[in-house]
């Protein structure tokens, strides 16, 4: 059985070699314990790093015949990097993991075991131990909110660290949307899935690429990219406001008929105008989000452009030369 390890790397020069050494050691230690013969390949995806990541990958490919890599022409984001990795992976099963050693390589053996027991997806769910309280709480609130909206079930702590069987990978590759929200995509394809929890390791070196703004946008993607319920909600909200406005109008007219016309009331007017225009802007924004997405999908651009792959460098493979 061939297992592909797909590793997106963006500015990971400080850790990528250590990652490779660590994972190699780990693989070597557990491979003999499996009854089935396991072989591995590493598929590194350099997501347009500005540092020495690509140079390290070239070296690794030269030193280790199991290493393959794809390098993007610029930074296309982790979603695109994972997609590229999945496309290039030839394994009977694929494990996606981060280059920063936050996904413990010790868990790979467990994933493979669970896979051989008939699971198409084996998911490592990280506990939020060690996270800041604010982050934990926002995450919890977010997932509660989002799961009401989306049709698929999203689980807090479930990230991209997972094993996919060949048919699961093929299913993921069939979803060709431009706006990729992997959490949703993995949940959408289904197939027998097994989840287990692990404690997240602290990032060894380098720093997280997630800024607050990026997280916010990612959260919004989760809500919007997987269903049209926000549009439906916008419609209902509009109808509700319309009903309220009609009732209020009726009341004002009634009062005017009974008491005659009074001049005061311009505060009400101002509040109504500003509040309603605010609501309209939000609703327009919701619609705009979808239109924007359609625009991107309609362009049918490729998800990424490849600048270089391991096939471009001459190999000094002790086995073949």
Which residues are at the interface with ligand UDP (CB under 6 A)?
8-10, 12, 47, 75, 77-78, 81, 98-100, 102, 208-210
Contact criterion met (CB below 8 Å) for 10 and 78: yes
> Edge-to-edge strand order for the sheet containing 93-96?
193-199, 121-127, 158-165, 93-96, 2-9, 39-46, 67-72, 306-309
Mark the segment that binds Mg ion (CB under 5 A) among 37-45, 98-106, 227-235, 281-289: 98-106
> CA-to-CA distance for 304 and 75, rounded, in angstroms?
9
CA-to-CA dists, residue 154 to 52, 143, 157, 216, angstroms: 35, 7, 9, 17
CB under 5 to 8 A by kind: which of ligand UDP, Mg ion, none does 99 bind?
Answer: ligand UDP
Report the DSSP pairing between strands 39-46 and 121-127.
unpaired
Is-contact 71 46, C-beta < 8 A?
Answer: yes
131 contributes a contact to Mg ion by CB under 5 A: no
Minimum CB–partner distance for residue 184 and ligand UDP (Å): 17
Q: Residue 120, interface with Mg ion (CB under 5 A)? A: no
| Residue 71 CB burial class (10 angstroms; 0-12, 13-18, ≥19) | buried
Closest approach of Cβ 102 to Mg ion, in Å? 4
Which residue lies nearer to ligand UDP by CB, 101 or 168? Answer: 101
Backbone angles phi, psi at 132, to 5 degrees: -70, 145
Instruction: Give min distance, CB of 210 to Mg ion, in A.
Output: 8
Provide the minimum distance between the beta carbon of 81 and ligand UDP in the complex, in angstroms, as a whole number.
4
> Which listed range, 31-39, 90-98, 122-130, 249-257, lies at the site for Mg ion (CB under 5 A)?
90-98
9 or 67: CB nearest ligand UDP: 9
Residue 10 interaction partner, one of ligand UDP, Mg ion, none, beta carbon < 5-8 Å per kind: ligand UDP
Closer to Mg ion by Cβ: residue 48 or 91? 48
Nearer to ligand UDP, 180 or 234 (CB): 180
Closest approach, Cβ 206 to Mg ion, in A, equals 8
Pick 20 or 115: Cβ nearer Mg ion: 20
Give yes or no for residue 102 binding Mg ion (CB under 5 A): yes
d(CA 315, CA 88): 18
**What does the radius of gyration of the chain's CA atoms come to, in whole angstroms?**
25
Is residue 13 within 8 Å of 96, Cβ to Cβ? Answer: no
Could you tell me which stretch among 18-26, 101-109, 136-144, 304-312 binds Mg ion (CB under 5 A)?
101-109
41 binds Mg ion (CB under 5 A): no
Backbone angles phi, psi at 220, to 5 degrees: -65, -40
Q: Which tokens in the block code for residue 174?
A: 């069939």
* Residues lying near Mg ion in the complex (CB under 5 A): 98, 100, 102
């Amino acid at each position: 059985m061939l297992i592909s390890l797909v590793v997106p790397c963006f500015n990971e020069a400080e850790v990528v070699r250590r990652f490779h050494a660590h994972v190699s050691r780990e693989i070597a230690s557990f491979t003999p314990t499996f009854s089935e013969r396991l072989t591995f390949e590493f598929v590194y995806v350099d997501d347009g790093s500005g540092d020495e990541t690509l140079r390290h990958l070239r070296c690794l490919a030269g030193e280790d015949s199991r290493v393959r890599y794809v390098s993007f022409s610029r930074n296309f984001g982790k979603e695109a990097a994972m997609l590229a990795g999945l496309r290039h992976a030839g394994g009977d099963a694929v494990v996606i993991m981060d280059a920063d050693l936050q996904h413990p390589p010790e868990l790979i053996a467990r994933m493979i075991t669970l896979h051989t027991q008939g699971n198409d997806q084996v998911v490592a769910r990280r506990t939020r131990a060690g996270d800041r309280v604010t982050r934990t709480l926002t995450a919890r609130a977010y997932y509660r909110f989002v799961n009401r909206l989306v049709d698929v079930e999203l689980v807090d702590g479930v990230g991209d660290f997972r094993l996919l069987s060949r048919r699961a990978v093929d299913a993921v590759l069939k979803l060709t949307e431009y706006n990729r929200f992997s959490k949703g995509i993995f949940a959408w394809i289904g197939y027998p899935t097994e989840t287990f929890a692990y404690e997240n390791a602290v990032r060894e070196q380098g720093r997280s690429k997630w800024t607050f703004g990026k997280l916010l946008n990612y959260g919004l993607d989760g809500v919007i990219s997987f269903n049209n319920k926000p549009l439906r909600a916008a419609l209902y909200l509009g109808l509700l406001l319309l009903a309220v406005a009609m009732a209020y109008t009726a009341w004002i007219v009634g009062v005017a008929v009974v008491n005659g016309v009074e001049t005061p009331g311009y505060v009400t007017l101002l509040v109504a105008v500003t509040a309603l225009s605010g609501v309209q802007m939000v609703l327009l924004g919701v619609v705009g989000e979808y239109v924007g997405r359609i625009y991107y999908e309609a362009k049918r651009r490729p998800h990424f452009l490849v600048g270089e792959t391991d096939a471009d460098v001459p190999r000094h493979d002790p086995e073949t030369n």
